[in-house]
Structure 1
Amino acid sequence: MSWFKKLLIVLVLGFLLSLGAILVTYLLLKDELPDVATLKDVRLQTPMQVFTADGELISQFGEQRRIPLKLDEMPPLLIQAFLATEDTRFYEHPGIDVIGIMRAASVVATSGELSQGASTITQQLARNFFLSREKKLIRKVKEIFLAFHIEQLLTKDEILELYLNKIELGQRAFGVGAAAQVYFGKTVHELTVDEMAIIAGLPKAPSILNPVRSASNARARRNVVLGRMLDTGAIDKATYDSAIAAPVTSRLHGAQITASAPYIAEMVRQQMVERFGEDMAYSDGFRVYTTVNSQQQAAARRALQQNVYDYDDRHGYRGPVALAWQARLVSSDSEKPEFSESGRLDEQQLQQYLDQQQGIEDLVPAVVTSVAQQSAEVMLKGGQVVVLEWDGLKWARSFINDERQGSAPKTAAAILAPGMHILVRQQDDNWRLSQIPTVSSALVALDPQTGALRALVGGFSFAQSQFNRVTQAKRQVGSNIKPFIYSAALEQGYTLASIMNDAPIHQWDSNAGVAWRPRNSPAVYDGPIRIREALAKSKNVVSIRLLRGVGIDASIAQLQKFGFAANDLPRNETLALGSASSTPLEVATGYAVFANGGFLVQPYVVDKVFNAENQLIYQHQPAVACDDCHTDSTALATTISDSAVIEDAPDKPVLSAPRVISAQNAFLIADALKSSVWGGGDWQQGTGWNGTAWQAQSLRRRDISGKTGTTNDSKDTWFSGFTPQLVVTSWVGFDDANRSLGRATWNANLGREQSAGTEAGARTALPAWISFMREVLPAYPQQNSTTPIGISSVRIDLASGLLSRRNDYTSTFEFFKLGTEPTQYASGSIQQIQFGDEKQDKTEELDELF
């Protein structure tokens, strides 16, 4: 037994020496080891998500894509796929797999290379959180020590849950939830067995084994995983055979965006970075809820894009994007025109060509393959072949310039030829030739009671231009400024019944050596006209005369009350015609004062912010339009510490927005702007007239107020309109502020479908407003106007604005601020009428004015 005792002593000494070596190594490395207790309160880097008020996802921001899941939220088969591949003895070992380590050690001893990892899931977790991926022995030793610590600190399920949420899986996807979304556009519960196997095979080398990078590598690795799942009994032979036979199909998927509002998303991103800093904003898993209504946002996008398409169609077709091959028309006499073609692509080549082309928004790349007399056959990206019927082609006369278009085409061959790379879109289930619009537009809707943004579209396409024209484009506002000038006039004693002289102005400018001759548009002059009618008809010269009567200083002071900046307001009489520059959001905010009864609300888009633990850490508290609110400036929404939690407290004091004009002033202007829609007079008696926004009558709502706006040479067109519940501003123009919107000539192919003439607010901006309101107004019951205290209504004579005893078509009821009603009745005639600082002789019979 001597040799046995010696062997036993050697083994014991070896064991003790090994323990001593381990202890010494641990003592040497102890100070370098991180504190694994941090895993108890780990904060996974999770992207920020932005939602609409009704819970639709707008966007996601963050370098790492992650969708944290609880272990019981993951499919058991997906978990088994990882265990079978990465650590079959996970629930038995203490954090390290001795058999695996011995195997790796034997490889090192025989080859001198550390090629075998032998890492358990716990070791991988240690490496992912605390260490690097470098293949060095010291890193492996640290990994082992950390694994022991982790196993003492956390349960097996906690370790596995952290691992499956933390593991890097390629394409910036971290965790199984993100991988399912990124590679397959699915939730983890929607994955098939072969897709689970693909994801479970990624930890070994996520950059080269992912199915987007290499389908063949992913297939080979998937098959290995499926084999191990079969060996461990996770799947049966039939399931294995079916999964092995499945093709590997994958592409990159973004977050499951359910509401298209990219301009809103960018606004939120900027605000969140400003409030919390980039590191927190992009990685702390914030969920930001905006004020945007998803249905209204979708309606705004449709309305703006369709309106831009309509403008673009009116001005003609600018030709194909490119030529896939050349084709020349030889004969157009037959039912199918003949072309001479060179270099025609076969079907496979054509599909390859189209695969490389990009569409934008709903515009799809296509190539014309054949042309008939009044139709064309095209192949779409993806291989689908469709026919463009004449209704989708006949609009496409040639574009010459902004003022001129070519003659209406009579055949499809006058527009298209085989080989043309074009863009098409679907409209009413039919395909239509189209093009990327060159004109720009913006549309914004807000709640006038709070300032909450309900919808915002800053351009035709965020992919085309990230410039947000709602908040960034300061453009001349044109006649959209007139209600504010008229508001100033009411403050100076004018009334809606005051008579002004609608006659040409000729003013000599001694400095320029020319006469300033501002004109109405159209150049029609009505002579003596009531202020209500002048505003509804957008009379330029009346607006100038009112500015003179009020004074430039007083007018600018009044405009500033509506939120317009003084340095954007020119100190000359062009102010009355809208030479001031403002953004669509600033204009909408100004109109909200009329809609809410005189309060200046501040527009906002971020309503609530929740952290990763679903705690409410930010709640915006708007100042609302009301006289009897409690005001507490210290209660205004501010940045809140990330450790703070806001309790939902509906009994918090409501903040009152500042009152900037009287309720009477706001009511009178809002009521006058209804005449812009509905006009006045008696059509049966031949005295009827329309306001500039008469097309809005199609909405059949009597609670709509609105104003058109057009600048010189039609460079900017506007429409701003509102109900008591919603304010909407629409703008159309070119990003090049020097470019005119021009005019569209008659297209004989379109008839009643078209809108010909010079582009202006009513023709160019109003249709988008109407389209949007037609969709959203049913959610807002019509509200009859509530007459505020301090307003009276008396019957006046339409011609003179004085009191009337008649109740026929020559008179109507008008609203006045108490104390400003006329005191005389219309009677007799006069020969001379005083109009501010001008006099005009009148020979016709008129009722007495003063």
Structure 2
Amino acid sequence: MQGVFRADLLERKAKIKGYHMRLLTILAVSVFVLVCLTSYATWRHFLSDLPKIASNEEIWTANRKPSLEMVDATGETITIRGPRYGRRVSVDALPAHVLQAFLAVEDARFFEHGGVDLWSIGRAVFENLTAGHTVQGASTITQQLVKNVYLSPEQTFKRKLQEMVLAWQIDSRLTKKQILEIYLNRIYFGQNAYGIDAAAWRFFSKHPSKLTLSEAAMLAGLPKAPGRLAVDLTAAPAIERRAVVLQRMVAAGFITQAQADATMRTPVALRVTPDIPEGQMGYVIDMAQKEVESVGKQVAPDRILRLTVDSRMQAAAVQAVQALVGDGTGTGVTQAALIAMDRQGRILAIVGGRSYKESKYNRATMAKRQPGSSFKPFVYAAALEKGMTPDTIRVDKPISLGGWRPRNFNGGYSGAMSLSTALTRSTNTIAVQLASEVGIDRLILLAQRLGIDSELPRNLSISLGAGEVTLLDMTRAYATLANDGVRVDPYFIERIDTTRGTVAFQRENKAPVQVYEPLRARQMTAMLADVIAFGTGKRARLPGGREAAGKTGTSQNFRDAWFVGYTADIICGVWVGNDSSSPMNGVTGGTLPALIWEDFMAAAHEGKPLSPLPTLDDLKRPSPNTLAAFYESLADIFAAAGGQDMAALPALRKLPSTNAPNPAPAPAPATNIGR
């Protein structure tokens, strides 16, 4: 009986033990599931949207606001649109006291922790609990970098946790030197300045490598509260913050107390770089911004456009236009435009109107106006290509073509004269005769080859500039003549850099395209030089005997006046008139435009040697094969345009006049435009 009872007792104990084991198992599983669910919920809430660091280089570019800086041909900043990001500065290029100032005030144990300083966190918690409010922080430089680059500034537990996780990740991936360098180049200092290079230039107008101890301490204090401290570095809050930095440097053993005291007694010597006024650069900036859009996709948020414009020449261009154009001049001229470039197509200066502030409309590139006699050089260039020479004789006499009777500017006629003399005098009747002999199709194609993109009318009045073109068109076409017949394509952007020192875009040197025979181009240069020396362009003569070539132009009823010309170095076009196309007070191309042209070109050539215009004597005679290839290319151009067959063009001067003139042009009003 006792044995049976004992067996029952043992069985009961076994059942109770099994029951307890099941309870413990259920409890353990429940705790495990609860921990997993809690961990998942914690991860889901705090870390699921944790930013990912794709690469080391990505830390440099992540979340940058779009910024566009433009610099001129000499490297001087023209303007900045958006934040000012400093150039990338290596920590090796900075003095020790600059690095020590940031380390002392922001993270004295930077080289001792792994991105998050747990010892400093514990100390800060104790100090804050003791004080009853926040008196000390514990963010490391790595955490501040994370906060500035990836996270929002909100003070929440979630943001702080994410900040710590990312700081650990970055510290495990980068060296301390790399982290410090990125921090110094990306931190915000206030006044729209990001990075130590931008801050040093903004507040002290110097490179960071030249910062004094006082300046370094001042900058090191700004990231704590840039919006408040950077407003005025001479005010008490900024001065007090500098003192804190210096005392931290003493505590860290970087400087002595005597050095700190001496520095604190030193007045703050600011040399603030002012915001750059766009003023006279307005048209330049608009053109550059438009051109950068055509370069391709935005390869970096921070871009530095290295432009071709010369700031000194740009100032001279603005001065030349504003000095001679305006309501008080008595000329009836309210607007003007100027564009200058070199033989490579680099735009050196551009003025799209008398005042960018009053009107942002760019008359140099957008306004289409009648060029008057400044179009005539293309007529003569086509005549030379047809086989004539500057010495070819034509007769200035009354003519009638399809009921149109063009007259000369002075109303008279001078009889027989050479083509060179006719261009020098800007004789209308001979220009019309030449256009009739050459043919309108051939004349238009030549103008397009030289650089005229505007659509031209198919009638003989085009020979006197009755079509509408832009100043950019005209200047580019003259540049092609100045460039020995090699096509000139104007551009504004040489290169696009990033603040990190990488090249995002580099303009490629294109193979030269010969669109007009060099011999003919130099003949045209010689004739256009006579226009300035003896003809309608006398007011454009440059001081010091500098050689120049160019042509005047005046449209009907004095609505437009032009002067386009060049030296061995610079090609420049000038237009004056009124937006309403109302007549000016007798202004011709040989008056106001020529004076503006001379003023600008004289200033633009200051310091340049007296380079002569290219002549026939120093022209290396092209080989027959070269000329044959050139005329073959012309044949292709004409065939592609649906024009006349040019395949049989001989390689030398004489070209047969077998093509009949175009059908009679539509009647045009009698005109004496030309000067």
TM-score (norm 1): 0.60
1:696 is matched with which residue? 541
- Seen in structure 2, the aligned counterparts of structure 1 residues 287 and 600 have a Cα distance that, compared at 3 Å, is same
Q: Determine which of 251, 261, 274 is the counterpart of 1:253.
A: 274
1:563 is matched with which residue? 451
Larger RCO (CA within 8 A; separation ≥ 6)? 2
1:742 is matched with which residue? 585
Matches within 5 A, 1:512-591: 518-523=406-411, 525-565=413-453, 567=455, 569-591=456-478
Q: Deviations over 1:199-249 (max 9, x none)?
A: 222222211121349934323433333343444453533553443451475
Q: Which has the higher strand share?
A: 1
Q: CA deviation at 1:613?
A: 6.1
1:674 is matched with which residue? 529
Is it true that 1:451 corresponds to 2:350 in the alignment?
no
1:76 is matched with which residue? 96
2:224 is matched with which residue? 204
> Secondary structure at 1:43's aligned position in 2?
helix
Q: Whole-Å Cα distance in 2 between the matches of residues 198 and 522 of structure 1?
A: 73
1:596 is matched with which residue? 483
Instruction: Determine if contact 1:90/1:121 at 8 Å carries over to the other structure.
Output: yes
> Secondary structure at 2:188's aligned position in 1?
coil
Q: Whole-Å Cα distance in 1 between the matches of residues 195 and 595 of structure 2?
A: 50
Structure 2: which amino acid aligns with 1:670? T
Q: Determine which of 553, 557, 563 is the counterpart of 1:719.
A: 563
1:42 is matched with which residue? 59
Q: Deviations over 1:505-524 (max 9, x none)?
A: 68897xxxxxx775433445
> Which piece of structure 1 moves more, 202-211 or 95-104?
95-104
2:515 is matched with which residue? 660
- Seen in structure 2, the aligned counterparts of structure 1 residues 109 and 458 have a Cα distance that, compared at 3 Å, is same
Q: Whole-Å Cα distance in 2 between the matches of residues 64 and 697 of structure 1?
A: 42
Q: Determine which of 313, 316, 323 is the counterpart of 1:299.
A: 313
> Secondary structure at 1:560's aligned position in 2?
helix
Q: Whole-Å Cα distance in 2 between the matches of residues 177 and 768 of structure 1?
A: 39
Q: Which runs of 5+ in 2 are unaligned?
A: 1-34, 624-650, 657-663, 665-675
Q: Which runs of 5+ in 1 are unaligned?
A: 1-19, 317-398, 404-436, 510-515, 624-654, 680-689, 745-756, 792-815, 822-836, 838-850
Q: Whole-Å Cα distance in 2 between the matches of residues 194 and 439 of structure 1?
A: 52
Q: Determine which of 368, 386, 396 is the counterpart of 1:474.
A: 368
Instruction: Determine if contact 2:68/2:82 at 8 Å carries over to the other structure.
Output: yes
Q: CA deviation at 1:739?
A: 4.2
Q: Whole-Å Cα distance in 1 between the matches of residues 571 and 579 of structure 2?
A: 24
Q: Whole-Å Cα distance in 1 between the matches of residues 593 and 576 of structure 2?
A: 13
> Secondary structure at 1:68's aligned position in 2?
coil
Q: CA deviation at 1:165?
A: 1.6
> Secondary structure at 1:497's aligned position in 2?
coil
Aligned residues: 588
Instruction: Determine if contact 2:409/2:428 at 8 Å carries over to the other structure.
Output: yes
Q: Whole-Å Cα distance in 1 between the matches of residues 173 and 497 of structure 2?
A: 29
- Seen in structure 2, the aligned counterparts of structure 1 residues 238 and 55 have a Cα distance that, compared at 3 Å, is closer
> Secondary structure at 1:778's aligned position in 2?
coil
Matches within 5 A, 1:644-655: 655=511
1:360 is matched with which residue? none
Q: CA deviation at 1:261?
A: 6.0
Instruction: Determine if contact 1:716/1:731 at 8 Å carries over to the other structure.
Output: no
1:778 is matched with which residue? 609
Q: Deviations over 1:755-797 (max 9, x none)?
A: xx99736644442354156437517455442457599xxxxxx
Q: Determine which of 156, 159, 174 is the counterpart of 1:136.
A: 156
- Seen in structure 2, the aligned counterparts of structure 1 residues 506 and 272 have a Cα distance that, compared at 3 Å, is closer
Q: Which has the higher helix share?
A: 2
- Seen in structure 2, the aligned counterparts of structure 1 residues 114 and 247 have a Cα distance that, compared at 3 Å, is closer
- Seen in structure 2, the aligned counterparts of structure 1 residues 698 and 459 have a Cα distance that, compared at 3 Å, is same
TM-score (norm 2): 0.74
Q: Whole-Å Cα distance in 2 between the matches of residues 493 and 159 of structure 1?
A: 71
1:308 is matched with which residue? 321
Instruction: Determine if contact 2:331/2:586 at 8 Å carries over to the other structure.
Output: yes
Q: Whole-Å Cα distance in 2 between the matches of residues 548 and 37 of structure 1?
A: 68
Q: CA deviation at 1:472?
A: 2.7
Q: Whole-Å Cα distance in 2 between the matches of residues 670 and 550 of structure 1?
A: 20
> Secondary structure at 2:494's aligned position in 1?
strand
> Secondary structure at 1:91's aligned position in 2?
coil
Structure 2: which amino acid aligns with 1:78? V
Q: Determine which of 334, 337, 340 is the counterpart of 1:441.
A: 337
Instruction: Determine if contact 1:127/1:133 at 8 Å carries over to the other structure.
Output: yes
Instruction: Determine if contact 1:504/1:541 at 8 Å carries over to the other structure.
Output: yes
- Seen in structure 2, the aligned counterparts of structure 1 residues 734 and 694 have a Cα distance that, compared at 3 Å, is closer
- Seen in structure 2, the aligned counterparts of structure 1 residues 741 and 84 have a Cα distance that, compared at 3 Å, is farther
Q: CA deviation at 1:481?
A: 0.1
Q: CA deviation at 1:535?
A: 0.5
1:384 is matched with which residue? none
> Secondary structure at 2:564's aligned position in 1?
strand
Q: Whole-Å Cα distance in 1 between the matches of residues 247 and 223 of structure 2?
A: 17
Structure 2: which amino acid aligns with 1:305? V
Instruction: Determine if contact 2:321/2:596 at 8 Å carries over to the other structure.
Output: no
> Which piece of structure 1 moves more, 477-486 or 126-135?
126-135
Q: Quote the RMSD (CA, aligned, Å).
A: 4.2
1:222 is matched with which residue? 242
Q: Percent identity?
A: 31
Instruction: Determine if contact 1:440/1:460 at 8 Å carries over to the other structure.
Output: yes
